[in-house]
Structure 1
Amino acid sequence: MSDAAPLRLFHHRPFLFHCLSRVFSTAGSQMQAVAVAWQVYELTHSAFALGMVGLAQFLPRLLLITVVGNVADRFDRKKVAFLGQAVQALTLATLAVASFHGQVSQELIYCLVIVGGAARSFETPAIQAILPTLVGNEALPRAVALGASAMEAATIISPALGGVLYVFGASTVYAITAASFTIAAILCSAIVPLETWRRVSSGSGFAHFLEGIRFIRSRRAVLGAISLDLFAVLLGGATALLPIVAHQQLHTGSWGLGLLRSAPAVGALLCSLWLAHHPLRRQVGRKMFAAVALFGLTTIAFGLSHSIALSLAALILLGAADMVSVVIRAAFVQLQTPDAMRGRVGAVNSVFIGASNQLGEFESGLSAAAFGTVPAILIGGLGTLAVAYLWMLAFPELRDADTLDG
């Protein structure tokens, strides 16, 4: 696999099934996000309520952090991921039925989002840890970029599709997302790894979790990479405010919200395709910091925009910058981590990613409720720039990292 051309990875059946499973899971998540955000906004017209959606998604990741990584390292990762996707399909089917009969409420949405978030907490580290056993370490950076390309393609189409389908009712979107997760689970069950992973011995789940924490703390560059994403995107996460921006600032409807949610994925897709054919080989640390700084600048541009065209352009560039950071961090952390510990490290990384995204949405909702939508976005962008500068000083090991494998 190491000397194969990038696109030839898609002819490798285990990688293809793995990639497609994540594509359908991502598509389901993105359409769900559009439907939940618009439905909650219709019910409440509250920025705080939108922020609470992010908190509901994040809490399971935080509460289950000592469990999910240990499960991924002790049990069959394929089965763990399969069950996580199946449970998410059930929660969305429940939302579809409730919405169809007009029995949906803000509280019901939050409860089912929490259940789905718990299932995703188990799915994410398990399916991520499978990838190195499918392609090998040398092909991993290209595999990460190609997988990201496929998922970003789904992210481009699915939010826009979700926004258009919402015209026919939230139940239609939820039914389709339930089907998407069902397909993801079927594809996941077909994955056959080239090699098996060494599972951790039985024992305290909390003790095994602490091993993962100690490993991350012992690798300053890994700690810096994970925490940089946490704090940078935590402050710069304006996606929770997109329904308000679409409605009040850009004067558009659910279709416009779908386009806004798709725009970052357009930039991410173009960037990931470039990285799949031109993998980053040198000065990866400095390139990661530059990408995070660009993320902050484009967030500020988005906050200042009153034109949907300019807003879409800013979000496209934001998505490209984020993809550079994602590919570097994902490959860097995987290559720096022994296989027997990838589930636990992946669980910690997943919580950090969840905090940066879902908790970032909660922070944005609180900030918008306190200061207003535009000031909240601007504060977030400036905060991201500050984090990038401070982390360059605090983690010189990451700043000076030359290659992905150290």
Structure 2
Amino acid sequence: MAKKDPYAALRIKEFNIFLLVRFALVFAWSMQFVIIEWEVYSITKDPWSLGLIGLMEIIPAVGIALFAGHIVDQNEKRGLLIKCILGFSVISFGLFLLTWPKIVGDWSTNAILYSIYFLVFCGGLVRAFIGPTVFSLIALIVPKKLYPNAATWSSSTWQVASVVGPAVAGLSIAWIGVHWSMCLVVGFTIIALLNLFRISKKPILNPKIGEPIWSSLKEGVKFVYNTKAIFGAITLDMIAVLFGGAVALLPIFAQDILKVGSEGFGILRAAPAVGAFITMWITAYIPVSKNAGMKLLAAIFGFGICIIVFGLSSIFWVSVVALFFSGVTDGVSMVIRQTILQLKTPDHMRGRVASVNSIFVGSSNELGAFESGLTAKLMGTVTAVVFGGTMTLITVVTTGIALPSFRKLDLQKELEDHEKED
């Protein structure tokens, strides 16, 4: 067999443009979230107001996800993503105006606050469409044989942008203030939009254009449930995020348990992302498609172990190492999950499958933070983290026993078949 090219997907010009668009979009979105959190808390000094930001975004994002998936499958993907980024640009510009004293100087606090919440809610509506559209578009840019490699580079791009965005937001707030920081966000959305025009229009690979929406939604949910590879991958991801949400409790560990202050908190917060990024870079050279099912189960089992070690640790560097390896295992699972979803999803159903995935995984991020906070209040912080890690381990074992076909999943032969087709 020919030696695998770790840069195979990067040799496709439109894929490089796609990565630039994705980086700019994720960077802007993650930067905007941090800026708005800062601004809202500065206005209210109420932690509950921060919870409302997440709630305002997740309700529309999850509430219309299935409908968004149907619309994505019925429309041309590049054009739809252009509309999504235009919508995001308008929202970002609105927030830019709402943080400008010259504009809102005479407004009441509540008027500013409710306007911000409204725009965040609108952002949730846009978010419902962006995920399925991006997932569908990437499959139209690269051939199937390159899906694992493309998934690695795409996930790495997302990881870097989601780490760098908040970091830049924190620095820019200190250097140029909230208002001009939002101007940077608007700038990056424009960069994403202009580069997206460099990607050609893609065909609509759906034989059921005009299908009734309820039939379409039912078909999408049924497909995910009946395709055990996809159902198993989504379920494992959801449980790992839901019960492994130790990151939500990091301020408590940094201040009260490890006693390392804001500097230590920054290191703890960065450790999983660094681990995930390094691992995803390595998977570009060492493919993980062979015995993918067992590798995914092992990765998430390892993730659960890391969370338990972190919860029990009272030594700072042990905690950092545990979080780093939680990122390593999460990076492996992220690449495998994306490859499974891309390979096992028919072209005409990508929007709906991505929407179901966003409901499970997207909502579990917020629910995971809520679960961690609730169990920490009921059980204590350390017990809550250990409980979450233990539930992750139990889920992995149960999935492996209940879905033997998932345990035996091997994507290598499927990839080789696609290579022969090409």
Tell me the TM-score normalised to structure 1 length: 0.88
Counterpart of 1:113 in structure 2 is 120
Which one of 315, 321, 331 corresponds to residue 323 of structure 1?
331
Q: Is the 8 A contact 1:51 1:363 kept in 2?
A: no
* Unmatched runs of 5 consecutive residues or more in structure 2: 416-422
**1:391 deviation in Å?**
1.6
* Partner Cα separation in structure 1 for residue 168 and residue 266 of structure 2: 7
Shift of 1:141: 0.7
Deviates more, 1:322-331 or 1:79-88: 79-88
Shift of 1:284: 1.0
Change (3 A) 1:147 1:313: same
Greater shift in the superposed pair: 156-165 or 299-308: 299-308
Q: What is the Cα deviation at residue 213 of structure 1?
A: 1.0
Determine the C-alpha separation between the residues in 1 that align with 2:364 and 2:159. Answer: 18
Give the Cα–Cα distance (whole angstroms) in 2 for the partners of residues 69 and 61 of structure 1: 11
Cα distance in 2 for residues equivalent to 1:393 and 1:279: 25
Q: Counterparts of 2:347 and 2:161 in 1: how far apart (Å)? A: 29
Q: Deviations over 1:245-281 (max 9, x none)?
A: 555555534x766554443221111111111111113
Return the match for 1:267 from 272, 275, 278: 275
Counterpart selection for 1:349 from 319, 341, 357: 357
Counterpart of 1:252 in structure 2 is 261
357-366 or 330-339: bigger deviation: 357-366
Asked if structure 1 preserves the Cα contact closer than 8 Å seen for 2:275 and 2:328, the reply is yes
* 8 Å contact from structure 2 (residues 61, 126) kept in 1: no
Q: TM-score scaled by structure 2? A: 0.85
- Opposite residue 61 of structure 1, the aligned amino acid is A
The partner residue of 1:148 within 140, 152, 155 is 155
For 2:91, the equivalent position in structure 1 comes to 91
For residue 276 of structure 1, give the secondary structure of its aligned residue in structure 2.
coil
Residue in structure 1 matched with residue 302 of structure 2 by the alignment: 294
* Residues 28 and 307 of structure 1: CA distance in aligned 2, closer, same or farther (over 3 Å): farther
Post-superposition CA distance 1:275-298 (Å, at most 9, x none) = 111111321111101111222222
Gaps of 5+ in 1: none
Cross-structure match for 2:420: none
Contact 2:172–2:181 at 8 Å: present in 1 too? yes
Query: Quick one: structure 1 residues 258 and 92, their matched pair in 2 at CA, closer, same or farther if it must change by over 3 Å?
Result: farther
Are residues 1:58 and 2:76 paired? no
- Higher mean C-alpha deviation, range 297-306 or range 316-325: 297-306
Rounded to whole Å, the distance in 2 between the matches of 1:166 and 1:306 is 33
Aligned residues of 1:92 and 1:174 also touching (Cα < 8 A):
yes
Change (3 A) 1:11 1:388: same
Q: 1:324 to 1:95 in 2, by over 3 A?
A: same
> Per-residue deviation at 1:181?
2.5
1:73 aligns with 2:81: no
CA RMSD of aligned residues (A): 2.9
Secondary structure of the residue aligned to 1:200 is coil
What's the CA shift for 1:128? 1.0
Comparing 349-358 and 101-110, the one that deviates more: 101-110
Contact preservation (8 Å) 1:38, 1:243: no
Retained in 2: the 8 A contact 1:89–1:178? Answer: yes
Residue correspondence of structure 1 range 27-42 to structure 2 within 5 A: 27-39=27-39
2:280 and 2:50 mapped to 1: Cα distance? 30
Alpha-carbon contact 1:37-1:243 (below 8 Å) kept: no
Query: Per-residue deviation at 1:194?
Result: 6.9
Task: Report whether the alignment pairs 1:171 with 2:179.
Answer: yes
Q: After TM superposition, list the pairs within 5 Å mapping 1:348-387 onto structure 2.
A: 348-387=356-395
**AA aligned opposite 1:167:** A
Q: Which amino acid aligns with 1:314?
A: A
Q: Which has the larger radius of gyration?
A: 2
1:182 corresponds to: 190
For the structure 1 residues 338 and 264, does the alpha-carbon distance in structure 2 shift closer, same or farther, using more than 3 Å as the test? same
Q: Identity of paired residues, percent?
A: 33
Residue 395 of structure 1: how far off its partner (Å): 1.8
CA 1:243–1:90: 2 relative to 1, 3 Å:
farther
Alignment of 1:172-211 (within 5 A): 172-192=180-200, 197-198=205-206, 200-211=208-219
Shift of the alpha carbon at 1:310?
A: 4.4
| Structure 2 counterpart of 1:117, one-letter code | G
Report the number of matched residues: 403
Contact in 1 for aligned 2:76/2:201 (Cα 8 Å): no
Task: Quote the residue 2:419 is aligned against.
Answer: none
Contact kept in structure 1, 2:74 and 2:204, CA below 8 Å:
no
Q: Which amino acid is 1:222 matched to?
A: I
